[in-house]
Amino acid sequence: MKKILHTTTFLIFFLLFSGQLFAQGLKGKVTDSTGSVIPGATIQVIGAKIGTSTDGNGQYALKFPAAGAYRIKVSFTGYETSETEVQIDNTVKTQDFTLRDARQLLLDVIVVGSRSSVPRTNIQSLVPVDLITSKDVRTFAQVDVTQILNYVAPSFSSNRQTVADGTDHIDPASLRGLGPDQVLVLVNGKRRHTTALVNINGTFGRGTVGTDMNSIPVAAIERIEVLRDGAAAQYGSDAIAGVINVVLKKITPYSFSTSFGQSDTKALGREFNDGRTFQVDFSKGWAFKNDRGFINFAGQYLQRGFTNRGGLDTRPLLYSASPTKGATETEADFQARFASLKAADDARAAANGLDRNNMRVGNSDSKNGGFFLNGQYNFSDAAELYFAGGYTHKTGSAAGFFRLPTQTTQIDLSIYPNGFLPLIDTKINDLSFSAGLKGKLGSWNYDLSNTSGENNIGFDINNTVNASLPTGTSPTSFYAGKLFFRQNTTNLDLDKKYTFDGGFLTSLNTAFGGEFRIDNYQIKPGEELSYSYGQPSKNIPGRMVGSSFTAAGAQVFPGFKPANALDKSRHNTSAYLDLEAEFGSRIMLEAAGRYENYSDFGSNFSYKFAGKIKLFGDISIRGAYATGFRAPSLHQRFFNNESTQFVAGNPTQVLTVNNDNPIVAQFGVGSLKPEISRSGSLGLAGRIAKTFTFTIDAYNIDIDDRIVFSSQYARERGAGGVLIPTGVVNQILNTVDPNAQVNSVQFFTNAIKTNTAGLDVVLTNRFTLGTSSSLLLSVAGNLNKTIVRSVQGSAKIESDPTLKAKLFDRLERSRFESSVPKNKLNITANYTVDKLSFVARTVRFGEVTFLNAVDPNVPANGLPVQLDQTFAPKWVTDFSVSYAPGKALTLTVGANNIFDVYPDKLYIDPRNNENNLSGVSTTNYSGGLDNTSNGRFLFPRAISQFGFSGRYVYGKIACTF
């Protein structure tokens, strides 16, 4: 790695300082239609190696080798390219250029979704593609990519998670209602590696592995292209829901921005001023002499404080276990005794500062710093070198469940007499480098590239104990291990466009190529005390509390054991063919096929057909049908660990085993195989009266053999919690855990078939209100519905009703069917007048539904029906105002969620309050009657609607020079 970095550094500095920029000869200024200057616009002399870019004042200067006529091309992302011929003589000429906004002209050029080298706009593409420009991503206060997309792209959904181990630090995301691992992420058109984390806790995306898009600094992004269509035949595995292509900046002026904000909310009966966020970024792109290329550097630092929207612990006693009513004790005597115990318990809590607000439910604490380089060097008109590389370092701190003094097998009272809140602290490093050579070989375009990337996550567990160590001897901090994922991808792509005169077929673009990819996944163990029961290396046995075993390893996150450690790799080879044919000016058809062979599970062939027919004017009908696949990730195949998870508010030691483990074989489950999809889409796209654009696309996606993370198979217990020796799960777990410390087991399996259907609508119109004012209105919406068509386990699971019921319970079903909004509507208005800009955006997040694992609608279960809960749609509104006193400075103030909207609260059972001192079994305190974990969760964790941080106010300064 060091050798690669040294080589890269040398190449960058060689290209950067290999020459001087052009001097004068032709000079002028580039502005938009309102007269505002455009810094970073590219000025090129067609047919000559002469070019430059505008400075922060929109000015440029060129020098020519001789007098004569030259054709000048001026371009900038988001604007219509302009070409003008100028006559150069021995004097210095002045030539200004005005570029028209491409949104007004519908020229949002995209590259994803087609292998053609001919640029297309989003309404010309055969499949739906959203384009989000750098202006879009920087308009509001969201400072990371997933949060930006959540509010800009209706078909995209992502929210920060809480009390979910590593998932607190890497946001799972969904496109078209599908999982985080069913969308492919590209950077500059090249596959980006996924994270090392597999989501195993109770959140949306449980059991999946996504891509950490927040490791890409927003300052480095020129635009984001969201392809909303199955594209595995074009790009390979994972592209079932679509493709997100992040395009990096090129030649740009010096750009600097900084912002600060915090939550300012009073909606929960308390005032919160937390979540303080500070952000600073920088970017600059330099052009090389003689139009030889460019290099762009962008960096960002983001510091975000934690938020806490937890509720008050409703348990009557914090220091003592609740009393048991005597056989002859009257209810009045019991409640009097209970009240006396509670008074003493409350007094002790007050004296020791033990607060009933003892959790941290909200955003984790996070610090994120990183940079990206993007560059290109032109050797000749037929060959150019390009490269891109980035590094991000992110640290985070997230809390788990509070350990009360009453939880004697999980606590050491000599260290934490008042309980403790354990913290999971992470160090996440993300590295990537891509380089390639592209150009022409005869009449063929070629692109040979190699892309490598790594994501690693280290876990430090703080403010905790290993409760199994002798009293008073446990450390309070542990190194718990590290996860690695590395990927290296080599691509060769060739394409050529044939044109034909006078025939039915007017053009044929032919593209083919191949890919070779290597994946590597590793688990590194933690220190011994982070996972041990006692300390075996020093012959120290595990501590017992009475006849009960204490919990092994660091509380909240036991470290990875040497038995968990692994180093697994695989490779795959693929080849594709992509044909695009034009039949006159009205019909375009595409056919693509891709063959892939994986070293661990075999081969797959995917294909796609797409077409577009121009009906009249600029209005077209388009459609596609595609098959696709998603290879099981190495994480899903091999991840294994032991963790402490809370089920119905109770701590549970859960064993996660991979598909090579004999335990999985005893369930009759074999190795994972790929998910297979079939998808279709049909839509209309076009523009009317030059300023109004629209796209309307319906879609349907069927997925077979979808990989799920099973529900927890818990040990069978009878009356009084006594283990049932003949229980199937008990017999299986006893083969690896005869002391019965592990309570449950879970694993990955291909178990379900799903169907997802929906509709995407995007409408945009620009109104020119005068020479210095304009209004841009956009309305974008998504409707989607996912249903689980069938659940199919192994023969052994299918033959046992108990095993069958636990394979994929109601809670897991709701994660797939109803944990993301079934509809989303985004309405945005951007009004600009002179030096002021007003932007208002309101987003309607549709309903989501949580289903309890056990059906409360069955009377025999004795559970409140409110345990199944639907959370109503909500409107979240953002507003900002910007003032530009000069061409180089912009000042912005604004608020996200300006009306301080929260999701519906979780149902809380009336019996679950701290003053319930009843001794009657049908009316006494019982934490399992709701999903609040003893009142400490006001909002659900298992669904992903729009978060629950409340109003956020901010200020921002941006400079361009």
Retrieve residue 260's tokens.
């600060």
Averaged pLDDT, 463-468: 96
Query: Taking 80 as the threshold, does the pLDDT of residue 113 lie above it?
Result: no
State the average pLDDT over residues 72-76. Answer: 85
SS3 654: strand
Pick from 59-63, 239-243, 283-287, 956-960: least confident: 59-63
Alpha-carbon gap, residue 285 to 16, rounded angstroms? 10
Residue 24 reports pLDDT greater than 60: no
Report which of residues 691 and 150 the model is more confident about: 150
Tens digit of each residue's pLDDT (9 = 90 or more) over 33-57: 766 778 778 888 887 778 787 877 7
Which tens digits make up the pLDDT trace of 331-368? 999 999 999 999 999 999 999 999 999 999 999 999 99
Taking residues 801-814, report their average pLDDT: 91
Task: Tell me the residue type at 123.
Answer: I
Whole-angstrom distance, CA of residue 101 vs CA of residue 98 = 10
- Report the pLDDT averaged over residues 752-781: 88
Question: Among 468-477, 508-517, 885-894, where is mean pLDDT lowest?
Answer: 885-894
Look at residue 73 in the predicted model and tell me its pLDDT: 87
HEC profile of 348-406:
HHHHHCCCCCCCCCCCCEEEEEEEEEEEEEEEECCEEEEEEEEEEEEEEEEECCCECCC
Spell out the residues 6+ positions from residue 332 whose beta carbon is closer than 8 angstroms to its own. none
Which H, E and C letters describe 790-838, residue by residue?
Answer: EECCCHHHHHCHHHHHHHCCHHHHHHHHCCCCCEEEEEEEEEEECCEEE
Q: pLDDT value at position 291?
A: 77
* Token pair for 505: 């077929």
Looking at the chain, how many residues does it have?
961
| Token code pair at residue 152 | 């800009």
CA 430/CA 483 separation, integer angstroms:
12
Confidence of residue 120 (pLDDT cuts 50, 70, 90): low
Q: What are the tens digits of pLDDT across the range 662-696?
A: 888 889 998 999 999 999 999 999 888 878 889 99
Residue 849: CB atoms within 10 A of its CB come to: 15
Q: What is the pLDDT of residues 820-871, one digit of tens each?
A: 999 999 999 989 888 899 999 999 999 999 999 899 999 888 889 999 999 9
Q: Is the pLDDT of residue 5 over 80?
A: no
Tell whether the model's pLDDT for residue 378 goes beyond 90.
yes
What is the C-alpha to C-alpha distance for residues 221 and 249, in angstroms, rounded to an integer? 6
Specify the pLDDT at position 23.
41
Residue pair 49/62 in contact by the 8 Å Cβ criterion: no
Does residue 483 surpass a pLDDT of 70? Answer: yes
Mean pLDDT (whole number) for 422-445: 96
Model confidence, pTM? 0.87
Alpha-carbon span 48 to 709, nearest angstrom? 59
CA atoms within 13 A on the CB side of 292: 15
pLDDT tens-place string over residues 602-656: 999 999 999 999 998 889 999 999 999 999 999 999 999 877 665 555 566 788 8
Q: Over the stretch 933-950, which tens digit does the pLDDT of each residue have? A: 999 999 988 787 888 999
Average pLDDT over residues 128-141: 79
Rounded CA-CA distance 908/931 in Å is 7
591 touches 546 (CB < 8 A): no
Number of H helices, E strands in the chain: 12, 47
Residue 220 has pLDDT above 60, yes or no: yes
* CA neighbor of 44 nearest in space, from 246, 187, 250: 250
Above 80 in pLDDT, residue 954?
A: yes
pLDDT digits (tens, 9 = 90+) for 446-456: 999 999 999 99
* Averaged confidence pLDDT in the chain: 89
Torsion of CA 596, 588, 680, 943, to 10 degrees: 90
d(C-alpha 942, C-alpha 630), whole Å: 24
Pair 772, 757: CB distance under 8 Å: no
Q: List C-alpha distances in Å: 469 to 557, 561, 645, 795.
A: 16, 17, 20, 43
Query: 524, 515 in Cβ contact below 8 A?
Result: no
**Rounded CA separation 130/154 (Å):** 10
End-to-end Cα separation, the chain, in angstroms = 35
> What average pLDDT does this structure show over 76-97?
82
Average pLDDT of span 321-328:
91
Q: Which of 640, 635, 457 is nearest to 531 (CA)?
A: 640
Give the model's pLDDT for residue 604: 95
Q: What φ, ψ does residue 196 adopt, rounded to 5°?
A: -85, -5
For residue 555, CA distances in Å to 164, 306, 413, 463, 477 come to: 14, 21, 14, 9, 10
Tell me what pLDDT residue 9 has. 43
Closest Cα partner for 166 from 457, 383, 446, 452? 457
Is residue 586 within 8 A of residue 507, CB to CB? The reply is no
Instruction: Name 887's bridge partners.
Output: none
